[in-house]
A = this chain, B = another copy of it.
Amino acid sequence: MIVKLNDHASPAAKSAILETLARQDYSTRRVSLPFGDFIVGLGDGAGDTTALAALEGVAWARRGAERAVLAGIDASTSRTEVPLGRTSIGGAALAVIAGPCSVEDRDQISTCARFVAAYGATALRGGAFKPRSSPYAFQGLGHEALEMLAEAGKNTGLPVVTEVMEPGEVEPMAPLVDCFQIGARSMQNFPLLREVGRAGKPVLLKRGPSSTMKEFLLSAEYVLLEGNPHVILCERGIKTFETATRNTLDLNAVPVLKAQTHLPVVVDPSHGTGRRDAVIPMARAAVAAGADGLIVEVHPDPARALSDGDQSLTLAQFRTLVEEIRPVAEAVGRRVEATPVPNFGEPRSSGRRRGTGWGAGD
């Protein structure tokens, strides 16, 4: 049960609401968000909205078991913009979050960061803790990678986005992270959602591969319930029978979610296709569908990548991506902020040595 308070609800009114919720068998919590103050009832209470709506200080009361109310389009009178670095996600400027699947070494991430910063990225992604289906596969370099990523972010002025996999890691990671990514496999890791909610930093929440949009929004609701409104929803493909692509990128989710929530929606065409040759067309499509941004995998030398090489763009391809989404963004009334650096130099494949990447002097 979610009760929205009027702007000037008195302490007495709040007490009456809390008592009524308790009498209806709810445990209660106050939630303060930029778009309103709420008192929520958790658990299987009586669900009597009429009694609540009649109380002083109540703007409205809604049941929440079946839908995300705080994340719902009606909860806020304006769309939520999530501040990230010098820009925000959800406004007229498109977010372009780019970087390697995994941070592999200092050279790779700094090369990648400098390049994507120069050509239009608004944030840097890079995995330090990698969830992998096989325990034998490369699982990320951990805290060491986190420091490399933070350094690369600092040097380029880009905020960093990286995945957190367990509640106990949220606090230790927080000083080095600008935005926590919740991976697709963790979309319904509820203890983790609560913990990143409490941390207060922006959360990039990826849709689970078999999660409906409704479940997706309910997972966002877990974060909002902790008083953290800064959730970026990320469509990254769902699991279907099709095998020509790694996942089926469900761009329907862009207009449908935008109609249901005030939160920004970004798209990951890298995981959503799993094929380098489809990433740029689908990035254009995502922007045209109304997405608030993109998150793409870029690697100085995809053939040598320790993970997701097949779907990573080269540095040159990333530049092409930005060039190609700019006119599409304009066609739909958005803009790509970045001014590409014209003589930044050509990216080059790194040759045989793994992870060396595109050299600074080139």
Residue numbers of A with Cβ under 8 A of B are 1-2, 40-44, 63-66, 68, 131-139, 165-168, 185-186, 188-192, 208-210, 212-215, 218-219, 221-222, 225, 238-245, 248-252, 254-256, 259, 272-273, 275, 277-278, 281-282, 284-290, 306, 324, 327-328, 330-332
Contacts and interface: CB of A to CB of B under 8 A. Distances in A.
A238 B242 contact: yes
Contacts of A240: 238, 240-241, 248, 250
B136 A165 contact: no
Which 4 A-B pairs rank lowest in CB-CB distance, beginning with the nearest?
Answer: A210-B210, A288-B288, A327-B331, A64-B136
B289 A282 contact: yes
A212 B242 CA distance: 5
Max chain B C-beta neighbours (<10 A), residue from A41, A278, A288, A332: A288
B241 A256 contact: no
A281 B290 contact: yes
Nearest to A242: B212
Contacts of A327: 330-332
A252 B248 contact: yes
B239 A255 contact: no
Contacts of A331: 284, 327-328, 330-331
A218 B242 CA distance: 15
Contacts of A288: 281, 284-285, 287-289, 328
A165 B41 CA distance: 23
Contacts of A1: 136
A272 B285 contact: no
Contacts of A248: 238, 240, 248, 250, 252
A44 B161 CA distance: 24
A219 B131 CA distance: 11
A141 to B, nearest CB: 10
Given A131-B188, A328-B332, A252 B256 contact: no
28 contacts: A42-B135, A43-B138, A64-B134, A65-B134, A66-B134, A131-B188, A133-B188, A133-B215, A134-B221, A165-B190, A166-B166, A166-B189, A167-B167, A167-B168, A168-B168, A209-B210, A210-B210, A214-B244, A238-B240, A238-B248, A239-B239, A242-B250, A249-B250, A251-B282, A252-B282, A259-B277, A285-B285, A288-B289
